[in-house]
Amino acid sequence: MPKTSTLSNITAFGLKLETSKFALQINYCLLLARRHIWLAKSKEMSPNFDHYLCFLKSRLDLETKSGDVENWEPLAEYILIDR
């Protein structure tokens, strides 16, 4: 990267509103991450990435069973990977 360029949050996440096809899905995952952190802190626990993935998978299951498959389709294969 040239020294004259600046790195904005949008660039760091690889999102440019005019070019990103998955901006809404990624924003939703980030919103769920904030909720996971809030829930963990309200239970006086530490946020944990593995717990977040379980939380994300449960949302994926719930929403795809209710018929909202299109919104999750681009990210489902990454979320459902077993670690």
pLDDT of residue 5: 56
Residue 73 inside a domain? The answer is yes
Domain that holds residue 52: 22-79
Residue 4 inside a domain? The answer is no
Number of domains in the chain: 1
DSSP 16-73: -TTT-SSHHHHHHHHHHHHHHHHHHHHTT----HHHHHHHHHHHHHHHHHTT--TTTH
Residue 3 inside a domain? The answer is no
Residue with more model confidence, 37 or 77: 37
Residue 62 inside a domain? The answer is yes
pLDDT of residue 13: 63
The 10s digit of each residue's pLDDT in 6-56 is: 656 665 665 565 566 777 787 888 888 999 999 888 988 888 888 888 888
pLDDT of residue 17: 56
Residue 29 inside a domain? The answer is yes
Residue 45 inside a domain? The answer is yes
